[in-house]
Structure 1
Amino acid sequence: MADKADRATEAVVVWERPERGARGPAPERSREQLTAAAVGLADAGGLAAVSVRQVARELGTGPASLYRYVAGRDDLVDLMVDAATAEVDLDVELTGDPVADLVGLAARTQQVHLRHPWLLEVAPEALRTGPRGVDYLEYALRALEPVAALTGPGKLEAVAVLNALVAMLSAVELRTRRSPTGRQSAQSAYLDAVVARGGHPLLAAALAGGAAGVGRPGTESPAGDPFERLVRRVLAGLLAPEPPA
């Protein structure tokens, strides 16, 4: 009896539940409609704006009716994340160069993060992966096929680190866009004053060379796209053969 009760209360991801039951009238809505409404709310007001009640209001129906399609808000977020993941173009042909292919994938993923900033608010749960997320992982692993130095788990770790880096750099980009110019200028002036007083020679040398991302807008940065440069550097380390134990 206990085993049967455990199975009854076992969590089931939304992808494993049928969109409509075997009995009863045909549903008036679809998960796609719920997802589109939820994404629209999040794009406008952040993830906090999304609830079953608010989605129902957007669709002109009662909240209770939506529980035919989702078990709750977690299901909505899963659907939203997968819909956003579907915007990453996976039809780009791989070149056989793992670094170049993953840099391209990372850049396309960042564009999705910048279009949907609420993605950065989603709790980083392990395996919050739907059908599109599975396709994404398969594409990334195909890009890594030439890397003989990494095991399967090592390749999954590399993809996880890459995605975390993309999220972090996307968050920095969004903060930079939102930061008032006056505050950026004040931060730059503060750093100038600090290094002028001495005591931080390495920081002074780094800023003189044009350090990106340290509160000095308008300074010269190394040649090339900083996003691509940082992703390439991280991938070079991730894909390098592990040193012998």
Structure 2
Amino acid sequence: MTDVIWLRPERAATGRPAVHDRAEITAAAIDVADRGGLDAVSMRNVAAELGTGAASLYRYVTGRDDLLDLMIDSTASECRLEPPTGEPVADLVAVAEGLHAVMMRHPWLPELVVTRPALGPGVVGVLDHVLDILADHPGDGASKLEVFALLNALVATFARNELAAPNQAERAVAYLSHVAAGGERPRITALFENPSTGDILPRDRRVAALTALLSGLLG
């Protein structure tokens, strides 16, 4: 259990008096990632951001993995959480939109959410809010945790797609247009027969998809 950073003391019990704290180190790591991406996040670079040596950070964290966990959890605290309205699907979509806004502010975040989900105080705050929304739902605890996990994964997937290379979507559409024009795949051809399809805003598509998925999941 001591591998979980939030179950360890804030800093090592021995050594020089504390100069920084986890919040400062986390903020510095996030700044480094926002500017240079995840590859730029190293003990050395984060220490330089704080104006100190890399060795000093080991009094607070055991290595880069701790930094990544702290970064994920800290960004969760940025999510705006509105009081539940009694409409679980709409309330969960609102949470999803809040998480999406955070991920778009931090383009490195969706990848981490998918590949190494962390559970610290910030994420627990969002989880508790989701459980509050689902308080009257008949599902058991395990199913509600699955809703939370799925919500995060879906939002991260949308964000990753939106943050992809700017011309990636256009390239995909160009090829689909070619396939549609060939007429050998009528269902794909039908997609391009509705001229309004391309006019739907990404947010509207996202909200509609999340609403449909969550409605089906919650029954």
Q: TM-score, normalised by structure 2?
A: 0.90
Aligned position for 2:187 = 202
Q: CA offset at residue 73 of structure 1?
A: 0.7
CA offset digits 1:149-202 (Å, max 9, x no partner): x11111111111111111101111112xx413xx65554443333222221111
| Percent of aligned pairs sharing the same letter | 44
Aligned position for 2:163 = 174
Aligned position for 1:6 = none
Q: CA offset at residue 81 of structure 1?
A: 0.8
RMSD: 2.3
CA offset digits 1:24-59 (Å, max 9, x no partner): 542111111111110011111111110111111111
Q: CA offset at residue 211 of structure 1?
A: 8.3
| Cα distance in 2 between the residues matched to 1:170 and 1:224 | 11
**Paired residues, number:** 218
User: Which 4+ stretches in 1 moved above 6 angstroms?
Assistant: none
Amino acid at match of 1:239: L
Aligned position for 1:142 = 132
Structure possessing the higher radius of gyration over alpha carbons? 1
| Cα distance in 1 between the residues matched to 2:169 and 2:57 | 45
| Cα distance in 2 between the residues matched to 1:169 and 1:79 | 23
Segments of 5+ residues of structure 1 without an aligned counterpart are 1-9, 213-218, 241-245
Aligned position for 1:86 = 77
Aligned position for 2:52 = 61
Aligned position for 2:142 = 153
| Cα distance in 2 between the residues matched to 1:193 and 1:69 | 56
Given the superposition, is the C-alpha separation of residues 24 and 232 from structure 1 closer, same or farther in structure 2, using an over 3 Å criterion? same
Q: Does 1:234 align with 2:208?
A: no
Segments of 5+ residues of structure 2 without an aligned counterpart are none
SS of residue matched to 1:225: helix
| Cα distance in 2 between the residues matched to 1:170 and 1:236 | 21
Q: Does 1:105 align with 2:84?
A: no
- The structure richer in helix per residue is 2
